[in-house]
Amino acid sequence: MKMKLINKDTKVVVQGITGTQGKFHAARMKEYGTKIIAGVTPGRGGQEVDGTPVYDTVLEAKERHGCDASIIFVPAGGVLDAALEAMEAGMDPIVLITEGIPVRDTIELVARAKQIGTTVVGPNTPGLIKAGESKMGIMPNQVFKRGSVGIISRSGTLFYEIAAHVTNQGLGESTCVGLGGDPVVGLDYIELLKWFHKDPETRAVALIGEIGGDAEEKAADFIASGGFTKPIAAYIAGRAAIPGKRMGHAGAIIQGSTGTAESKMNALRGAGAAIGEQPVDVAKALKKVLG
Amino acid sequence: MKLLEYEAKEVFRRYDIPLGASVVASTPEEARDAFTKIGKPVVVKAQVGIGGRGKAGGIKPADTPEQAYAVAKHILGMRIKDLPIRKVLIEERLAIQHEVYLGVIIDRASKCFTILASREGGVNIEEIAAKTPEKIVRQNVDPLRGFRSYNANGVAKRLGYDGKKMQQLGDIIQKLYRVAYEMDAEFTEINPLVETTNSFVAADARLNVDNNALYRHKELEAKYLESFEGELTPREMEARAMDLTYVELNGDIGIIGNGAGLTMATLDTVMLYGGHASNFLDLGGGASPDRIGKAVEFVLKDSRVRALFVNVLGGITRCDDTAKGIIEARKKLGDNKPIVVRMMGTNEQEGKRLLHGAGIETDDTMEEAAQKAVKLARDA
């Protein structure tokens, strides 16, 4: 499947722009340079939010402004409809910031996206950013600096933590993507590793994982099979977690013997990734390789 | 949210999944009446939200009303893994010919519901997977097409059934999928599904509902907090009631962070430097001073805690709000336990100024702060 991310030309519509989060982050995204073209809130068409026109439907926003992509801040119960609407209007990618979406809704919208070839980022994600150009997300602007490290993460604040270290090491970031903390999300590590493998602006990748599921193990298999050959460093959160307990994220849970941090670290180490004992080690390891 | 067996069976009954005759009882008298109503030999089963009740003596047969009374009295008076037994299910005893396993899970990698089935029922699925993985039939459900009768019959066929039994079993599998889908199950299971001479009966029932979907199942909301009894410690129950994302651990360093990944990494870093966290507490995004204060107070009140480490990376959460919350909680408790704060990001300078004014130390990196917290807990 072709995967679509963002760049400085991506024209973005914000679904849920009249809510507290939507309004706040639309402003931060604009500050960063994102082309926020329109907002959508049913029933609020004709209004403006900080100078951005609001429409009742995504289709209207598209017809008036030619938007390409959508970022969604609507409450959890409305996300399935909002995402299907965005897909039907041809938005790609679609970024789902909202936390607390029923898994069944995610399963349905991700299946539909796959069928029509739309990229879905999230849900429960900080979003994605092309450093120095544009962001569709809620990450703090000051942490990122244009550079050569691609970042893939299942979490939010830990991703900012490691991005800050990467920036402090003088490396900077190319494109960074938050996969999302839910059990089912639109993108996998592997799809992004394939993308980063070909991306000329990315010289190395930081992979930030956590307990639960086996997505990191699958990524390790993919790397070991030669699918991704650039330098890679990883950090896995949750070594101190107790089996059977959900650690904040709906997806962060060790079930039986699967999903442990050790299993993920061993798999990635076996595939040739540098494993950070602490978050800062990831940036240090990449600095060592990239110079 | 984990439903108890009798609650899950109430749901199954609505979907016409075949069940034995059963009655719920809260007292020995009710158990005796239940026996009379059912009118055949029964089993008395403890209703408790954790596994292993059979081994713990929570499932016993009874052949007379008096026996049902005595057995129920015994079970209602016991505790299983520290949990009180408030109800028993009195259920008709089945003539077991064979035991089948049926389950529906969410497959994270395939991003769909997946049916699991095996003829080696009666033991848990992980055991079957470990011993005889080739005896588990897996069938992914296409989210856009759904799970049709031919899919269900296909699973029954692969288990080795044909003719009438294949259709009976296929019908049950399809119903179980409808339960999973319509009830927003994270997991639902019939184990064992008892095969008798000419039919199948669900002898046990498990149903875990996605917490994020509870707004679609109003009838369950009232039982929400109670349903965590088996899973959560008393302290975790208290935190849940306060809407705090909290997991109890065994150490003596209290941990509060914002964001699940960062908070987990904070625990790990403390462990790396030889310390032991007493808990995981994730503030989530954009917490107010009041909420932060509540969280700090909750952790400091824990008598096991010898030092507190707050790690906040300000994005939508503001460092000055964090500082205010910490100072307020400390004032309220009149507590002198050492606190280490690492903050970075939105309104960082103001946050640090407030904390330093209140005599609370801050660090710029998580690694330094973790080492300090470990030392403070050791020296306290």
Residues of chain A positioned with their CB less than 8 A from the CB of B259? 155-158, 248
The average pLDDT across B146-161 equals 97
pLDDT at A1: 55
Fold exhibited by the domain B21-92:
Dna Ligase; domain 1 (3.30.1490)
Does position A6 have pLDDT exceeding 90, yes or no?
Answer: yes
pLDDT at B23: 97
Model ipTM value: 0.92
* Alpha carbon of B203: minimum distance to chain A alpha carbons (Å): 24
Active-site amino acid positions of A: 249
- Please state the pTM of the whole predicted model: 0.93
Q: Do the chains contact at A184 and B184, CB–CB below 8 Å?
A: no
Class for the domain spanning A139-290: alpha beta
Give domain limits for chain B. 21-92, 98-219, 234-379
3-state helix, strand, coil in chain B (%, to 5): 40, 25, 35
* Alpha carbon of A161: minimum distance to chain B alpha carbons (Å): 7
In order of B242, B347, B367, the CA distances from B320 in angstroms are 23, 6, 22
Q: Nearest CB to A160: which of B112, B245, B313?
A: B313
* Alpha carbon of B363: minimum distance to chain A alpha carbons (Å): 14
Class for the domain spanning B234-379: alpha beta
Q: Do the chains contact at A240 and B367, CB–CB below 8 Å?
A: no
Q: Do the chains contact at A138 and B316, CB–CB below 8 Å?
A: yes
Q: Do the chains contact at A101 and B212, CB–CB below 8 Å?
A: yes
Q: Radius of gyration of chain B from Cα atoms? A: 26
Q: Nearest CB to A214: which of B109, B215, B267?
A: B109
In tens, the pLDDT along B181-210 reads: 999 999 999 999 999 888 999 999 999 999
In tens, the pLDDT along B7-63 reads: 999 999 999 999 999 999 999 999 999 999 999 999 999 999 877 888 899 999 999
Tell me the CATH number for domain A11-121: 3.40.50.720
Token pair listed for A151: 């970042």
The average pLDDT across A255-263 equals 86
Q: Is B101 a catalytic residue?
A: yes
Search chain A and give the residue with CA nearest B114.
Answer: A107
Q: Do the chains contact at A240 and B249, CB–CB below 8 Å?
A: yes
Q: Alpha-carbon distance B303 to B153, whole Å?
A: 57
Residues of chain A positioned with their CB less than 8 A from the CB of B367? 278, 280
* Alpha carbon of A2: minimum distance to chain B alpha carbons (Å): 18
Residues of chain B positioned with their CB less than 8 A from the CB of A112? 144
In tens, the pLDDT along B132-149 reads: 888 999 999 999 999 999
| Residue B51 CB neighbours (<10 A) | 13
The CA-based angle B118-B192-B154, given to 5 degrees, is: 35
Tokens 């209207």 identify what position?
A: A60
In tens, the pLDDT along A38-79 reads: 999 999 999 999 999 999 999 999 999 999 999 999 999 999
Search chain B and give the residue with CA nearest A99.
Answer: B212
Tell me the residue type at A269.
R
Residues of chain B positioned with their CB less than 8 A from the CB of A252? 260, 264
Tokens 């300078």 identify what position?
A: B349
Give domain limits for chain A. 11-121, 139-290
Tokens 């009041």 identify what position?
A: B290
Q: Nearest CB to B271: which of A21, A188, A239?
A: A239
The average pLDDT across A219-223 equals 97
In order, the DSSP letters of B273-330 are: TT--BSEEEE--SS--HHHHHHHHHHHHT-TT-SEEEEEEEESSS-HHHHHHHHHHHH
Residues of chain A positioned with their CB less than 8 A from the CB of B277? 240
Residue of B6, B69, B101, B161 with catalytic role: B101
Q: Do the chains contact at A102 and B108, CB–CB below 8 Å?
A: no
Least confident of A100-104, A145-149, B237-241: B237-241
pLDDT at B132: 83
Tell me the CATH number for domain B98-219: 3.30.470.20
Search chain A and give the residue with CA nearest B318.
Answer: A140
Does position B316 have pLDDT exceeding 80, yes or no?
Answer: no
CA dihedral B223→B226→B232→B234, nearest 10 degrees, is 150
